């Protein structure tokens, strides 16, 4: 029998249960033993890979710090497969612009600069259907466009390491600052890390979760150093 991996979803705040549902939808076809909510050091130590969900990045960092989980998270994301969506992308990044007064605690592992709330407030939320060549390997049959959901989303303003692989670019006309003039980068891959601006867990299309599961399965047994 092929080995399986356990995937955790950080469950301190935000859209974590939707990620759990998406992962569970793949258990019959991918190498997943189970998907669990991560709230403690013990939970974190029990998983092979982690999703940091969308929500409020400042709140997630504050709760993690108060619960004594922040330092363990920092060590985990250095070596284990980790996917940050929306707020999770902000937390993984090394630099964040337009943070709240007093600054923003970051996990400081993904060498990008992100702009918080690049697409405006909640009322400015939108969806857009885009072709996604990176999903070809996890698409059954034709690689249909993916319906991307953006809710108070960040944008990747700059790539600060040549190893980063850009995955998805929004066309010009989206976003509210100068970084959007030539399109907006909204998904990148770097070593053991995946960072996305959007909310794939809010769709019924599980291809991005399949993409991460396969990435995690390939990297879970490797000691990847940053």
39-68 core/surface letters (b: 16 or more CB in 10 A; e: else)? beeebbeebbbbbbbbbbbbebbbbbeeee
147 catalytic? Reply is no
Query: Cα–Cα–Cα angle for 112, 93, 68, nearest 5°?
Result: 165
- Catalytic residue from among 18, 19, 30, 86: 86
Is residue 42 part of the annotated active site? The answer reads: no
Tell me the CB-side half-sphere exposure of residue 216, using CA atoms within 13 A.
Answer: 29
CA–CA separation, 26 vs 44, rounded Å?
A: 21
134 labelled catalytic: no
Catalytic choice (18, 19, 30, 201):
201
Angle at 214 between CA 162 and CA 128, to 5 degrees: 70
**Which of the following is catalytic: 18, 30, 199, 209?**
199
Residue 16 and residue 8 in contact, taking contact as beta carbons nearer than 8 Å: no
Tell me the catalytic residues: 86, 199, 201
């Amino acid at each position: 029998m092929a080995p399986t991996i356990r995937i955790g979803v950080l469950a301190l705040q935000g859209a974590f249960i939707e990620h759990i549902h998406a992962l569970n939808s793949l258990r019959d076809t991918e190498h997943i033993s189970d998907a669990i909510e991560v709230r403690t050091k013990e939970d974190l130590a029990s998983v092979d890979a982690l999703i940091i969900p969308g929500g409020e990045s400042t709140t997630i960092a504050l709760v993690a710090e108060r619960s004594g989980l922040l330092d363990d998270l920092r060590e985990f994301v250095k070596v284990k497969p980790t996917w940050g969506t929306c707020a999770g992308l902000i937390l993984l990044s090394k630099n964040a612009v337009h943070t709240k007064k007093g600054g923003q605690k970051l996990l400081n592992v993904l060498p990008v600069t992100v702009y918080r709330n690049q697409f405006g407030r909640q009322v400015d939320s939108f969806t857009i259907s885009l072709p996604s060549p990176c999903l070809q390997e996890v698409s059954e049959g034709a690689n249909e466009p993916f319906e991307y959901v953006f809710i108070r989303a960040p944008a990747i303003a700059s790539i600060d390491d040549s190893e980063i692989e850009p995955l998805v670019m929004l066309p010009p006309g989206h976003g509210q600052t100068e970084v959007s003039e030539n399109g907006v980068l909204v998904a990148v891959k770097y070593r053991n890390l995946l960072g996305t601006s959007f909310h794939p867990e809010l769709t019924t299309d599980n291809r991005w979760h399949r993409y991460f599961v396969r990435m995690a399965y390939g990297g879970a047994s490797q000691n990847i150093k940053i």
